A = this chain, B = another copy of it.
């Protein structure tokens, strides 16, 4: 009896603003997981496991008090936002 485990992928948009010394390495990391669509903007689908792996690699490289990495993920009807490091400008009246 073989059982198949349905792999659920979620859609992500990722943007980063990191120190110049880290830009090249950050680009390499993100390219392994997502599609590079603009300067420091990526999109694509990831499994939960891949998203975790990506975050682990990002956290090894980035400087929390200097860099900003933002993930938007679409889950059903909701767009979630996760910020690693500094939210350079937190939106004041964004609900």
Interface, chain A (partner B; CB < 8 A) = 11, 13, 15-17, 35-41, 43-45, 68, 70, 72, 74, 76-77, 79, 81, 87-92, 94-95
Q: Known contacts A74-B74, A91-B43; is A38 also within 8 Å of B13 by CB?
A: no
12 contacting pairs across A/B (C-beta < 8 A): A13-B72, A15-B38, A35-B94, A37-B88, A37-B89, A38-B70, A38-B88, A41-B70, A43-B81, A44-B94, A74-B79, A79-B79
Given contacts A13-B13, A15-B39, A43-B81, 15 further A-B contacts (CB under 8 A): A11-B79, A15-B15, A16-B38, A17-B41, A36-B89, A37-B70, A37-B87, A38-B68, A38-B70, A38-B88, A39-B39, A43-B91, A45-B95, A72-B72, A77-B77
